[in-house]
Structure 1
Amino acid sequence: MTEQSPYHLPRPRLTPEQATELARDRFGVAGVVTELGSNQDRNFRIETDAGSLVLKVANPAILTVELEAQNAALGHLANLGHLGNLGLDLPAVIAGIDGGEVQRVTIDGQNLNLRLLTYVDGHPLTDAVRLSVGQIRGLGDVAGRLVQGLADFEHPGTDRLSQWDLRRGGEVIDALLGYVDDDVRRERLRTVTEVARQQVDRVATDLRVQTIHGDLTDDNVVSRTDAETITGVIDFGDVAQGWLVAELAATCACVLYRSPRHPLAVLDAIEAFTQRVPLTDTELAALWPLIVLRTAVLVVSGEQQVHLDHDNDYADANRSREWLAFATAAEQGGAVLEALIRFVVTGEPAPIVATDHPLAGTVDPGAIIDLSVTSAAFDAGIWLEPGIDGRVAADAAARSGHAVTRYGEYRLSQTRIDTAEESVTLALGVEMYLPAGSPVTAPIDGTIVVVDADTVRLEGADYDLWLTGVHGGGLDGQRIQAGSGLGTTGARVTVQASRLRGIRPPFFVAPSGAAQWQRVCPDPSALIGLETARPLADPAALLERRDASFARVQEHYYAAPPQIERGWKHHLIDMHGQSYVDMVNNVTTVGHGHPRIAEAARSQWSLLNTNSRFHYDELVRFTERLAELAPDPLDTVFLVNSGTEAVDLALRLALTYTGHDTVLSVREAYHGWSMAADAVSSSVADNPKALQTRPNWVHLVEAPNAVRGKYRGMQSAPQYLNDLDGDLAALDDEGHSVAAFIAEPVFGNAGGVLLPDGYLTGVYEKVRARGGLCIADEVQVSYARLGHHFWGTEQQNVVPDIITIAKAMGNGHPLGAVITRRDIADRFALEGPFFSSAGGSPLSCRIGLTVLDIMRDEGLQGNAEVVGGHLKRGLEQLGERFDLVGAVYGMGLYLGVELVLDRVDFTPATAVAARLCDELLLRGVIVQPTGDFKNVLKIKPPLCLTVASADHFLHALEDVLGELAG
């Protein structure tokens, strides 16, 4: 690559301080200056008392007449906007002190052109985690509006040499290909773009040319109202003559860049654009290869910029997604994409209607089998077995004579686990299981094409009908009428309609492309004598219904949550058949959908379920088991329904037993939602007014957080205990007596932070010396979750007076317990009898026993130790690479990752944590933030988590951390 290359465009050298002086001296503007990102120019935002402005410093290679053309284009479009024909906020040009709109200066030997523009207010589309369909359509629509607005704009400065002009796309790629260091990538670029260039060259002379914006992408648009509506365009640095269709190609390349796993999302942008600007036949033929070329130009340009301008973080941060966009474009079949593009611009066709000649005679609606996410046929993880659909269907056909699958069904059997890629789950056709040799009738008029020995295509007037498992004999090329015989069948026939003439569509597609593919491949059910398929699941509509009837204070994960309707082990599956590794569900200890628990519940329900005032075996066996597991001298069990109830009861036990008036609780902790449990909870994340609303019987002590607390390090216990001495002395002076100290033995609400060594030993000694009791809230950290220990207190080598447990006990069934000494329980009896209507029911006890049996039989405590250790080491390695990771907490399968903006001050990265969780969801991982600052990833999955799933989580987290760090 030579320095004389016309595409050698390193950014001008200019500091914010120099920009401040230039804005003052040339435009009379003063304010706070910050640099904005750019590939080849320098842009600075200036915050003045009157509002925001943008100082644009053009690349020295950009001619003055080209900048004048940009200004003129803005003026031209602003006039259209004034007339109401454009409807977009645009920058306005501000003249310099001398009246010139372009200011020429010399800085450090560089001759530079400056311009000052108004700042277009709004949120950039780059803020969105992923582009919605509305935003994608908005991009296409705005691109179309700009093409309309610039159609009659002419200026000598638009006839320019630009590397973004796709008329020179091949030339640019040839010139910059040498900047790609990787041999494999470089060769892939060369071969893919060569094909695309040839396709464009065949129609190039027929493509319309006009002035275009050239870069209508997420970087250059903003929304100042709702996020779905684009209200402004902020940059016109690429205004030039070019192919009209290249405007759309640039926008579509942006969509691929933002949604690389959903390539058909470009169809929404194309449809919106062509509703504004219809494309010619040759432009439709050229569009997909131009999109491929645009992604290639982005890649080679980005590589060049990083080589020439090593501190260009903007260009460097974009590289990985640019490569992913190119790879996605390169993987698509050009003929299929062109056919899809042509289809979406031709309008909505009529649906398939019923026929008088169903394909295989009368079909019983009762023969339709359920292969959806909620199908009972897929219990106990059977859906993961290869060929399960065929076996389920064959069994149904054996019982009923035939079986039929549903069109438009998201099939669980197609779901893949431990992957960031979309599972391809939506069925675009119907399968019929019939007796071999059954006759088949043509349901419509058409021409027969024998594709192979097992497949025929019936070319009808409006669509093709693809049939596999039909032996068409010698009918190839014949025109037949509805009702004519097509031949005979094998045991399985697939029926699929397609409006892509002559192109065989996929039978299964990913949910992201479902809407477009279902337009292409309509429901063929009417052709086999059945009603059309039921509507697809709509998680957004269900969420609206939830909000209408369910108190919204009962929050849900994620702003746009997936509709989860099935679980298996440590996986959750939504209604679209997408799987997620469940890294947050410590309630479901032994895993989702466990067949032993399902059978225990079924069998006990069929026998008896009542309350614990009756006498039955299950209660005795369960409480004996819990007492055996508890550390000596704890030997007595109360059964309740939840952790909140357990904490509430534990506090009452302590207050009654001691007769004292004060409970010590740790700051930042959460213990439950009842009046008493909330009273000892001080987490401001769970209750923003927690610190101001504690009752006078609760005294808060310093949170023993060894990482971000008042005193830091695992040897900080003496300092915290010294502070506790001061608290206790103050209570003595005020005449208060300590009834209890309550704390989690691992600081769960902070994300699994281990307490300083010896902390609980010291606290328990001091509290007991004053006649108080020690309560260990083990609701989150007990039941083998720590791997090395069954109880959290074992990690601190202490035995509490009262243990509260829940969550893990019932694997999601409402079950909690308090375990204490007999003398404490007997003292409580003086207050009257205790009773919980459902606590200790036969069903609860049976499920509780089954959970303990499964943990023992499947070695889940050992698994928590092994997999948890592997996971923690992986998290710590990520912490060595990414500064966002401030600390890694915990042990076993109770871990936390604290995200910080800087490691010195430990500033919480709250917004980053929320964004990271959203990004992980898109990669098939469910995790949520915790802590008072909502910046700690709480990692507490079912104890059956595998190393493979832990690695999937680590890879996904690495990917997102890399994006966020960039």
Structure 2
Amino acid sequence: MRPVEAVLPGVGPGSGCAVTADQARRIAAEHFGLTAHAESLGSRQDANFLLTYDDGSPAAVLKIANQAFTTTEIDAQDTAADLIADAQPGLRPATVLRDADGNRRAAAVDTDSGPVTARLLRHVPGGTLSGPRHLPPRTVAAMGRIAGQVSTTLSGFRHPGLDRVLQWDPRHAERVVGQLLEHVTEADRRTAVWSAATEAWAALLEVADRLPRQAVHLDLTDDNLVRSPDNPLPLPDGIIDFGDLTDTWAVCELAIPLSSMLHHDGMEPHHVLPAVRAFHETRPLSAPGHLAVTCGPYALQLSFPDAVRPAPTADAPVRAGDPLAALPAGTRFHVSLQEQAVSAVPPLVRPEYAPGWLALTADPAPLLGLPTSATAPQPDLLARREAAFAPVQEHYYANPPRMERGWRHHMISAEGRSYLDMVNNVTPLGHAHPRSSPRCASTPPPSTSSPAPSTGPCPNSGTEEPNDRPRPPGPSPVGGIIR
């Protein structure tokens, strides 16, 4: 096993292979009998080229491995891709191509940098999710679901090529940060990075010995998940680049794509939750035979045989007297009640983060004579909208926000969040115009819909008073305006 310092950028063998497009074209012809044009696809550690015929149609991807990769490691990567292709027919991994006899199309090639391994891989069309563009919740969930499918498929995979040390492996994060810290030139930022890293590492060490390990792809980022070419939405189903395949904590398969989401426009930590939920539905994050019940600062931990399934589902509330697990007579189990370290609850948070913090404290709303912040689910909300709106007034979100009122060029949701309205055709007038609002508010509502309040909203006007000042969010008529 190589030390992690040997594979750090700038210290070890380098970040890629120095192969030109012309050299790639000759390699394809001489070693694989393929006459094609070569276009560099770029890579941080390998050399990848799209090979195309004269008519522009793709022939294959020529992948020239980094010299640091052994043939055993490359064999593990190809085997893992084949496993996923066989077990997950809905996914499109970049598998190695084979000849008529079933042999992998791979060859040892001499380059200016020395001998390397070249392979022909399946071309996965569609384009990646790279770049800063916004990722809608469906895309985020799809990324988490793919990570779960890959994790499930590779959970039993064993291969000597997995025994490697990579700087991308979170198990070595503290050493990697320490090695690279000197490249952060600003003293204040360098101190902040090291402080955050050491704090996170200390928290991780408390649970590290309990984290399950397995084979993972370790690089299911937006750069390596390919969009489906048959879907107008940016939904991935393709997987490329198995170069970081290794054996590490199983949860890393989820952590890596989550980190890649956060650099996209508008993304915040709570926006990755659909990916966490989708991963957990496919590959449960809680290990079999373990149950944790939290109440305030305390955590009740139960461990029992893997064959026993806990009665409560994940994140479900548990009340006094509720069964936790049915254990056969004579079953040995372990139970402990511990006081868990929790973060100090801040005095104010944004609405989207409130549910997480309220799990650590009591809701003070009843003390103020207000209803609790926990809102009852409204599964019929879209159905109510369809009954009240014309069919041409479609909505553009899988889970549309509930808009209560408008003011000028803003829309205000039931959660009190303000949105810039770039959907409604209100540019000349704006919402809640002080002259048009009173007239709309005095118009009797249609008899076929639920009665609106005397100051109820009207199309493209809102409910604002003539002083042109927004009022605090209040009850939303007919479930709110949904776009």
TM category (shorter chain) comes to: 0.5 to 0.7
Equivalent in the alignment of 2:407: 568
Paired amino acid for 2:145 = D
1:26/1:96 contact within 8 Å kept: no
Residue 269 of structure 1 is aligned with which of 272, 275, 297? 275
Of 69, 74, 82, 1:67 maps to 74
Residue 241 (structure 1) shift: 1.6
Identify if the C-alpha distance between structure 1 residues 253 and 348 changes in structure 2 by more than 3 Å, giving closer, same or farther: same
Q: Deviation at 1:511? A: 5.6
Is the alpha carbon distance of 1:602 and 1:220 closer, same or farther for their aligned partners in structure 2, counting shifts above 3 Å? closer
Judge conservation of contact 2:224–2:241 (CA < 8 Å) in 1: yes
Inter-partner Cα distance in structure 1 for 2:142 and 2:424:
38
Which residue, 386, 391, 408 being the options, matches 1:549? Answer: 391
1:193 positional shift: 0.5
Per the alignment, residue 177 of structure 1 pairs with 181
Contact 1:42 1:57 in 2 (8 A): yes
CA-CA distance at 1:559 after TM superposition: 10
Which is greater in Rg? 1
Residues 542-598 of structure 1 show CA distances to partners (whole Å, capped at 9, x for unaligned) of 87668853377xxx9999986655333454434543334568999666864354665
The worse-fitting range, judged by mean Cα deviation, of 234-243 and 265-274 is 265-274
In structure 1, the gaps of 5 or more residues are: 285-334, 340-344, 353-459, 463-499, 607-811, 814-849, 855-966
The aligned residue for residue 455 of structure 2 is none
1:537–1:520 distance in 2 versus 1, CA, 3 Å: farther
Q: What is aligned with 1:7?
A: 8
- If asked which structure has higher relative contact order (CA below 8 Å, sep 6+), I would say 2
Which of 339, 342, 347 aligns to 2:314? It is: 347
* Structure 1 residue 214: Cα displacement: 1.0
Aligned partners of 1:133 and 1:150: how far apart in 2? 26
Is residue 26–residue 97 contact of structure 1 (8 Å, CA) maintained in 2?
Answer: no
Matched, 1:20 2:28: no
Structure 2 match to 1:91: 94
- C-alpha contact 2:217 2:246 (8 A) present in aligned 1: yes
1:136: which partner in 2?
Answer: 140
Tell me what 2:123 maps to. Answer: 119
* SS at structure 1 position matched to 2:257: helix
Equivalent position of 1:686 in the other structure = none
Of 578, 583, 587, the residue aligned with 2:417 is 578
State the alpha-carbon separation in 2 of the partners of residues 154 and 216 from structure 1.
20
Matched, 1:199 2:212: no
Question: 1:157-180 CA distances to partner (integer Å, 9 max, x unpaired)?
Answer: 211221112221111111222223
CA–CA distance in structure 1, aligned partners of residues 357 and 341 of structure 2? 14
Matches within 5 A, 1:556-955: 565-581=404-420, 592-595=431-434, 598=437, 601=439
The aligned residue for residue 158 of structure 1 is 162
CA contact (8 A) 1:28 1:97 kept: no
Q: 1:53 aligns with which of 57, 60, 66?
A: 60
SS in 1 for 2:247: strand
Structure 2: unaligned runs, 5 residues or longer? 291-295, 301-311, 323-339, 444-459, 469-483
Superposition deviation, residue 12 in structure 1? 2.2
The aligned runs of 1:285-300 (5 Å cut-off) are none
The 1:548/1:235 distance shift into structure 2, 3 A limit, reads: farther
Residues 55 and 114, structure 1, Cα contact 8 Å, conserved in 2: yes
TM normalised by structure 1 equals 0.35
CA shift, 1:230, in A, is 4.3
Write the deviation string for residues 380-419 of structure 1: whole angstroms up to 9, x where unpaired. xxxxxxxxxxxxxxxxxxxxxxxxxxxxxxxxxxxxxxxx
Q: 1:42 aligns with which of 47, 50, 55?
A: 47
3-state DSSP class of the match of 2:176? helix
SS at the partner of 2:31? Answer: helix
- List aligned pairs for 1:208-223, cutoff 5 A: 208-223=212-227
Q: Which amino acid aligns with 2:391?
A: S
Structure 1 distance, partners of 2:181, 2:353, is 32
Deviation at 1:95, TM superposition (A): 4.9
CA gap of 1:518–1:102, structure 2 versus 1, over 3 A, is farther
Q: Which amino acid aligns with 1:70?
A: Q
Is 1:252 aligned to 2:258, yes or no? yes
Shift in Å at residue 36 of structure 1?
2.3
Q: What amino acid sits opposite 1:164 in the alignment?
A: W
Secondary structure in 2 matching 1:241: strand
Asked if the contact 2:17–2:113 (Cα under 8 Å) also holds between the matched residues in 1, the reply is no
Q: Is the 8 A contact 2:132 2:265 kept in 1?
A: no
Alpha-carbon separation, structure 1, partners of 2:139 and 2:18? 35
User: Comparing both structures, which one devotes a greater share of its residues to helix?
Assistant: 1
Summarize the Cα distance change of 1:517–1:97 in structure 2 as closer, same or farther, 3 Å threshold: same
| Counterpart for residue 330 of structure 2 | none
Residue number in structure 1 paired with 2:337: none
The AA in structure 1 aligned to 2:219 is: D
Question: Which residue identity lines up with residue 254 of structure 1 in the other structure?
Answer: S
Q: TM-score, normalised by structure 2?
A: 0.65
Shift of 1:238: 0.9
**What is the DSSP-based 3-state SS (H/G/I as helix, E as strand, rest coil) of the residue aligned with 2:93?**
coil
Tell me which residue corresponds to 1:450: none
Q: Which amino acid aligns with 1:80?
A: A
Q: What is the one-letter code of the residue matched to 1:174?
A: G
Cα pair 1:539 1:563 within 8 Å, conserved: no
The offset of 1:117, in angstroms, is 0.5
Q: Check whether the contact 2:145–2:282 (CA below 8 A) recurs between aligned residues.
A: yes
Which residue is 1:646 aligned to?
none
Tell me the SS of whatever aligns to 1:163.
coil
Offset from partner CA, 1:168-215 (integer Å, 9 cap, x none): 111111122222333332221111111122222344344333221111
> Is the Cα contact below 8 Å between 2:145 and 2:279 reproduced in 1?
yes
Alpha-carbon RMSD across the aligned residues, in angstroms, is 5.1
Structure 1 596/88 Cα, relative in aligned 2: closer, same or farther at 3 Å?
A: closer
2:314 is paired with a residue whose SS is: coil
Paired with 1:535 and 1:100, the residues of 2 have a C-alpha distance of 53
Q: C-alpha distance in 2, partners of 1:585/1:220?
A: 36
- Going from structure 1 to structure 2, the CA distance change for 1:5 and 1:544 (only over 3 Å counts) comes to farther
SS of residue matched to 2:165: coil
Does the CA-based 8 Å contact 1:95-1:101 persist in structure 2? Answer: yes
In structure 1, give the amino acid aligned to 2:61.
Answer: V
SS in 2 for 1:104: strand
Task: Measure, in 2, the Cα distance between the counterparts of 1:261 and 1:78.
Answer: 31
| Cα distance in 2 for residues equivalent to 1:537 and 1:575 | 16
Identity of aligned pairs, percent?
34
Whether the 8 Å contact between 1:57 and 1:112 is mirrored in structure 2 is yes
One-letter identity of the residue aligned with 1:33: A
Q: Is the 8 A contact 1:523 1:533 kept in 2?
A: no
Question: How far apart in 2 are the matches of 1:41 and 1:547?
Answer: 54
